[in-house]
Structure 1
Amino acid sequence: MNLLQRAFRRFDLASALDDASWSTGGNTYFGMGRPSGGEERSSAWDFEAAVRYAYKRNGPVFALMLVRQLVFSEARFQFRQIRNGRPGELFGTAALAPLEAPWTGGTTGKLLSRFIQDGDLNGNGFVTNYNPGRLKRLRPDWVIIVTASEEEPHLAGDAIDGDLIGYGYAPQGSWANPVFLLPEQVAHFAPIPDPEFHFRGMSWLTPVVREITADSAATTHKLKFFENGATPQLVVSYDKEITPENFAKFKAAMDAAHVGVDKAYSTLYLGGGADVTVAGKDLHQLDFKVTQGAGESRLAAAAGVPPSIVGFSEGLAGSSLNAGNYTAARRRFADATMRPLWREAAGALSTLIDVPAGAELWYDERDVAFLREDSKDAADIQGVKSRTIRQLLDSGFEPNSVVAAVEADDFALLKHTGLYSVQLQKPGSLPSQTAPQPTQEP
């Protein structure tokens, strides 16, 4: 029995999970559980709550995740040469086949879509090569991250010698017969580390659960406003002599005539002794657009997506859509959100394929339409570099040292040939000029 199996034998799922939960907005959310023995696992309800109450029921969250997914899934994978610790050119081999066709009908784009979707909802994305030549996406709430320690087994991953020893996978969350996977069999995508756990990631949705609840409540408020006739809240008072029976009949008649969006703006008729007072505010008085727009911007900040990129109202106002501002927002999204995510995905997936010596698995963004303007900027930079290289070569520096110095941005690497000027002649090497000798007559 190996170390991974022994660790699972010690695992008591029934007593391990932390059942802490909280309710807000009519929805119940379950907290993260740290099982005994060091296994890092989130409750199955965390993933399901994020899917059901955020991704499938909240428009801003869905829009943010969709923008991240659409751009993220456009990249491809290549190998990148590493020379003297510096990156070189991209190249491909047959070893990339599992990433290009991960499963039947699968593509690199579908693989990346699953990776980023699980990463956003759960903080963790898992893919395994358990079946040779094919990859399999593992639903994150059915995975346990197993850690162990020889010196302090009761602390496992928290111990000074604690380390990752494998993963457990149980479809449908049934741990009667789990599948044991070694670290080299699993690509673990966790772009945001969870501060409470050594090997587990955290979803960007976690810090903004209250914002999601508030946005959903605002949407419900808007819906109720229209369902109740698109009119302000009213207080109807009656004379004290009105009997309870007559009050009930009058209320039923009034609701039948005025409640519902199809009865909005109909004339209100009141009987004797009834008095109406406006007690609520309409959406304009509540400044509803500003209230909901501010919440959307906070969600966008957590997702790393500028509001103007996803199309939120606050991102479409004022100077946000000016060419310079939109370009800056697009570049911020590409540089500070997408490229780090691609780097993390490449690092995770490199465990599942044979990476050639002297190279690393890297992402290829050259065909990503969203980054075409970045390609133009890159071409401009290459043009400046080429002119610098030409000038240095004409000044007599060694070609290899010129390229190394320009790429490293370190002119201390330059080495001179000892030749000067355009002709690159050694000093004093020009032939001496002598006066022509007169021709002697025979």
Structure 2
Amino acid sequence: MSFLDEIADRRKAIAVRDRKAFTLPPSWADDASRAPMLSSYSLQGNEEQIENDFEAYIRYCFKGNGIVWSLMAARQMVMSEARFQWRRFKDGRPQELFGSDALALLERPWPGGTTSNLIARMDQDACLAGNCYLTTADDSGRIGRASRRGRGRRIVRMRPDWTTIVITAPSGNPWGLDAKVGGYLYEPRPLVHSVAGVVDPPTAGATLLMPDEVAHFSPHPDPEARFRGMSPITPVVREIQADTQSTIHKQAFLKNAATPNLVVKFDRETSEDAFDEFVKQFRSSHQGSRNAYKTLFLTGGADVEAVGVDFKQLDFAATVGKGESRLASAFGVPPSWVGFSEALAGSSLNAGNFTAARDRFADGTVRPWWRDAAASLEVLIERPDDGASLWYDDRDIAFLRKDEAEQAKIHAAEAQTIRTLIDAGMTATSVVDAVNAQDWSLLEHSGLYSVQLQPANQQPTQPATGNSPEESGEETED
């Protein structure tokens, strides 16, 4: 019996017996060890887990660093504006978008939730963990495929660090060419009960879901793994640490004087008590940002010497600005759109460069993200037919609208193209379809030619007013 057959049979038996969620198979009882969260190599046995420490990325990077939060917020403000629709292909070209009742699950993914909330959650998990896992549940507690006809069906998020990709291969080697995703094992954190502090075993409540029950979204593949994604934070962790240290340095600078470091020298004859008293009074009167720039008075025998450099000498703004730009590059967001200091000067603010930055963000980051997200979410809903695929609808997003002058030029060029094609005898409907789809194979000829659109091999009709050929003395053909 194959791996999937064994899982399917056990799941069916459990469902018939007590209607509970599928739990860890007994054959895996000895495989209780999990790959460590902080290791760079996290394929152990037949499982792939998230590479990084998810909670550390949340607390240290997302919640603890303003640059990372700003970048993720800027991404979500644009990405969350999209909607999802169906589309079909004809002769390899996409056709018009259309909707269906099945899309209601994406429009209202959970009670009180919207498509924007769903996209925001997907982007958060993809940025912080490199992977987003989603499945469905109903009010009766059924999960995955079993919930597809249940009441109150909704999308539920599977926390990435509690989800393991289970790899199966007939050869038994998870790195073999015959390896594939056999399922997704979700193991929530064990509950601690209030009575005597009892802790549930690690496998309590574990659920195994089949690949067609989980929307797995991983926009950045991890080259060290076969099926999981990688967080864009991982390559720039040092940049985030440097930015945090810069903030700490600024705080220390303001706290300790808001001036370069000072060295106070005393005569050798200065007693220890006099030294301690002077230090105490000096700190209370001159240390801290509130005491900055006060006039300094010294008693006889004391001398002050400045050491170190200030922010201007350090070129602090330029140093921090370079780090911000590198972080923005990792997240695929132009620095000028986030308001970073380095991008708010010079040619970056020119109208052409600003528009180019917007287009780069839309075409290089946002639209590929939407495309991958649509392909991942399609597994959770029913397609209206085999020829339809889930796609994104960005037609009503203000951020993606071209400048009015540029849009007017595009419309003028399209109108001229439509006029030229209709004058050449193409049917009006096919011309509009071809221009909208940018597919000239959709053009259909009416069988009429010239600007008058007369049938071929037919005498041109005479104008409503004017002389006939006989009246004008012109010769006519027999």
Interval of TM-score (by shorter of Structure 1 and Structure 2): 0.7 to 0.9
Structure 1 residue 258, shift from structure 2 partner: 1.8
Equivalences, count: 421
Distance 1:135 1:427 in 2: 61
**Which position in structure 2 is the counterpart of 1:286?**
314
Task: Name the counterpart of 2:180.
Answer: 163
- The residue identity in structure 1 corresponding to 2:7 is N
Correspondence for 2:47 among 39, 54, 61: 39
The AA in structure 2 aligned to 1:215 is D
Choose the corresponding residue for 1:17, options 35, 50, 65: 35
- Structure 2 residue 436 is matched with structure 1 residue 429: no
For residues 307 and 431 of structure 1, what CA distance do their matches in structure 2 show?
64
**Cα offset for 1:8?**
7.4
358-367 vs 405-414, which moves further = 405-414
Q: 1:172 aligns with which of 185, 189, 213?
A: 189
1:106-152 residue CA offsets vs partner (Å, 9 max, x unmatched): 1111111111111111111111114332110111111111111111x
Q: Distance in 1 between matches of 2:39 and 2:260?
A: 39
246, 254, 265: which one aligns with 2:293: 265
Pairing of 1:401-416 with structure 2 (within 5 A): none
Q: CA deviation at 1:189?
A: 1.3
Pick closer, same or farther for the CA change 1:366–1:404 going to 2, 3 Å: closer
Q: Please say if 1:370 is aligned against 2:399.
A: yes
Please report how far the alpha carbon of residue 367 of structure 1 lies from its aligned counterpart in structure 2 after TM superposition.
Answer: 2.1
Distance in 2, matches of 1:310 and 1:103, equals 30
Tell me how far 1:55 sits from its aligned partner.
Answer: 0.8
SS in 1 for 2:402: helix
Question: Counterpart of 2:7?
Answer: 2
3-state DSSP class of the match of 2:237?
helix
| Structure 1: stretches of 5+ with no match in the other structure | 20-29, 437-442
2:122 matched to 1:94?
no
Residue equivalent to 1:24 = none
Please, which of 166, 170, 194 is the counterpart of residue 150 of structure 1?
170
Give the SS at the match of 1:363: strand
The question of 1:64 aligning with 2:93 is answered no
For residues 70-89 of structure 1, give each alpha carbon's deviation from its aligned partner in whole angstroms, at most 9, with x where no partner exists: 11111111111222222111
* Separation of aligned partners in 2, 1:160 and 1:13: 26
Offset from partner CA, 1:172-221 (integer Å, 9 cap, x none): 27732211111111111111111111111111111111111111111111
- For residue 162 of structure 1, what is the amino acid of its counterpart? A
Residue pair 1:385, 1:406 contacting (<8 A) in 2 also:
yes
> 2:170 aligned with 1:141, yes or no?
no
SS in 1 for 2:452: coil
Amino acid at match of 1:142: W
> Residue 48 in 1 paired to residue 65 in 2?
no
2:419 to 390, 393, 416: 390
Partners of 1:369 and 1:405 lie apart in 2 by: 25
- Judge conservation of contact 1:7–1:148 (CA < 8 Å) in 2: no
- SS of alignment partner, residue 172 of structure 1: coil
Deviation at residue 295 of structure 1 after TM alignment: 0.9
Report 1:338-353 matches (<5 A). Answer: 338-353=366-381
SS at match of 1:97: helix
- Hey, what does 2:142 align to over in structure 1? none
Aligned identity (percent) is 50
Q: Taking structure 2 as the reference length, what is the TM-score of the superposition?
A: 0.80
SS of the residue corresponding to residue 111 of structure 1 reads helix
8 Å CA contact 2:347, 2:353 repeated in 1: yes
Deviation digits for residues 1-21 of structure 1, max 9, x if unmatched? 41795597177343x4246xx
Map of 1:81 onto structure 2: 88
Q: Structure 2 vs 1, CA of residues 324 and 8 (structure 1 numbering), >3 Å: closer, same or farther?
A: farther
Q: Which moved more, 1:98-107 or 1:371-380?
A: 371-380
SS at match of 1:284: helix
For the residues of structure 1 that align with 2:320 and 2:400, how far apart are their CA atoms? 30
In structure 2, relative to structure 1, the CA distance for the partners of 1:234 and 1:121 (3 Å cut) is: same
Given that residues 33 and 41 in structure 1 are in contact (C-alpha distance below 8 angstroms), is that contact kept between their aligned partners in structure 2?
no
Deviation at 1:289, TM superposition (A): 1.1
- Asked whether the 8 Å contact 2:371–2:392 carries over to 1, the reply is yes
Structure 1 length-normalised TM: 0.86
Q: Check whether the contact 2:454–2:460 (CA below 8 A) recurs between aligned residues.
A: no
Return the offset for 1:431.
8.0
Paired letter, 2:236: V
> Which amino acid is the alignment partner of residue 170 of structure 1?
E
> Deviation string for 1:15-50 (max 9, x for gaps)?
x4246xxxxxxxxxx34451422311026x611111
Over 3 Å counting, the alpha-carbon distance change for 1:175 and 1:292 in structure 2 is same
Q: Which runs of 5+ in 2 are unaligned?
A: 1-5, 12-23, 139-146, 148-152, 191-200, 462-467, 472-478
Q: How far off is 1:233 after superposition? A: 0.2
Shift of 1:287: 1.4
Q: Report the alpha carbon displacement of residue 342 of structure 1 after superposing the two structures with TM.
A: 0.9
Q: Tell me by how many angstroms 1:428 deviates.
A: 4.5
Instruction: Render the CA deviation track for 1:244-282: whole Å, top value 9, x for unaligned.
Output: 454333323322222222222223233333322111211
Alpha-carbon distance between aligned partners in 2 of 1:431 and 1:273, rounded to the nearest angstrom = 114
Mapped partners of 1:35, 1:435: distance in 2:
94
CA distance, structure 1, for counterparts of residue 408 and residue 372 of structure 2 = 26
| In 2, Cα distance between equivalents of 1:331 and 1:7 | 53
Match for 2:167: what amino acid?
T
